[in-house]
Amino acid sequence: MADGAGTPGAIVAGNAEDVGYAVAEELCRHGSRVVLLDDNSDALTACADRITAEGGDILPLAVDFASAQSVGAAAQTAISHLGVPQFVLHNAAVLTERPMGEWQFGDWKREVDMILQAAFVLSKTVWPLLLEAGTGSLLYVSSGSALVGFKDEAAYAPAKHGQEGLMKVLALEGRGRNIAVNTITPGTPIDGPLAHTYTEAQRQVMVKPQVLAPAFRFLSQIDASFSTGNRLNAYQLARTLAAAVPAASLAAGQ
C-alpha cells in the first residue's frame, strides 16, 4: 500500500487555479499528503511545483472530470498513493451561462457530469475504505445554485441541486460508520476564475481563496460526530477560526 501510514491523506478534486490550489497548499503546510485532481494541466503543474518547492507532499493528477472512467481511475490512483483518504473535497465545476434554447445536449451533459457524476464516482470509489475505517470527511463545494434557480443555468443549477441531494443521502448512509458528508458554500465571492461572472457589488467583497482555506483544513479532519448532512459556510468558518486564534494565543500567554 502507500508510504506515510498514519499521515492524513486528502484528495482534492479541482480547481488548481483557485480554491483547490489554496486548499492543497494549506493541507500540505499542515502535514497532509495531498492528491490534486484537475483538468487544466498547466495550472496543475504550476500548482504542484509551487507546493513541492515549499516542501509539501503533493501528487498532481490530470483528469477529465466529465469522464466517469477518468475520475474513477484517478481516485484509485490516489488511494494507492495515500492509503485510506481522510478527506475528499469535490470542487470541480464549470459554470456556463447560456439560455435554454442555445444549449447543445453534449455541452449540457458535460457540465452536469463534471459536478454530479464526478461527485458520485469519487464518493463511490472511496466509500468502502471509509466504511471499513469508520471515519472520514467528504465535502462537496456548493453554491446558491444548489437551492434556487438562476437564469441561464440549465446545467449548473440542476447539477448543484443534485449534488446537494447526493450529500443528504450519503450523510444518512455514512452516519452509522461516523463518515461525515457535507456540502460547503464559499459564503462570499471568490477572487478566482469565476470572478468574471460577478456583479460590481460582488467584486467589491470578493476574497482570495487563501482566506477560505483554513475552513477546508478544519473540515478535513472532522467526522460525523462533528457535522454530517449539513450545508456549511466556508467564509463564516474561516473568519471564526481566524478570530479564535488570537484568543487562544492570549490564553496561552503569548
Partner 1 sequence: MRSMDDRVVFLTGAAEGLGREIARELARAGKRLALMDVQAEKLRAIATELAAVTEVLPIEVDLADAAATEAAVQQALDHYGPPRALIHDAAVLKEVALADVTFDNWRREVDIILQAAFILSRAVWPGMTAAGKGSIVYVSSGSALAGFVKETAYTPGKHAQEGLMRVLAMEGKEFNVAVNTLTTGAPIDTPMSDSHYTPQMRIGIVHPSRLAPAFAFLSGIDASIATGQRFSAFHLSEAMRSVAA
Return residues touching partner 1 (CB under 8 A): 68, 72, 99-101, 103, 105, 108-109, 112, 116-117, 120-121, 123-124, 127-128, 131, 145-146, 148-154, 157-173, 229
Q: How far apart are CA 107 and CA 48, in angstroms?
A: 29
Query: Distance between CA atoms of 106 and 89, rounded to whole angstroms?
Result: 26
How far apart are CB 223 and partner 1 at their closest, in Å? 17
Q: Specify whether the CB–CB gap between 182 and 138 falls below 8 A.
A: yes
36 neighbors 246 (Cβ within 8 angstroms): no
- How far is C-alpha 176 from the chain's CA centre? 23
Query: Which residue's CB is nearer to partner 1, number 161 or number 217?
Result: 161
Q: Closest CB to partner 1 among 57 and 153?
A: 153
Give the shortest CB-72-to-partner 1 separation in angstroms. Answer: 8
User: What is the 8-class DSSP label of residue 196?
Assistant: G
Shortest distance (Å) from residue 235 CB to partner 1: 23
Residue 42 vs 173, nearer CB to partner 1: 173
First to last CA, the chain: 42
Q: Under a CB-based contact definition with an 8 Å cutoff, are residues 54 and 25 in contact? A: yes
Q: Taking the complex as a whole, how short is the minimal distance between the CB of residue 107 and partner 1, in angstroms?
A: 11
Cell 446558491: give the residue.
144
Least CB distance to partner 1 at residue 175 (A):
9
Closer residue to partner 1, CB minimum distance, 54 or 97: 97
Instruction: Say which amino acid occupies 188.
Output: T
Nearer to partner 1, 134 or 149 (CB): 149
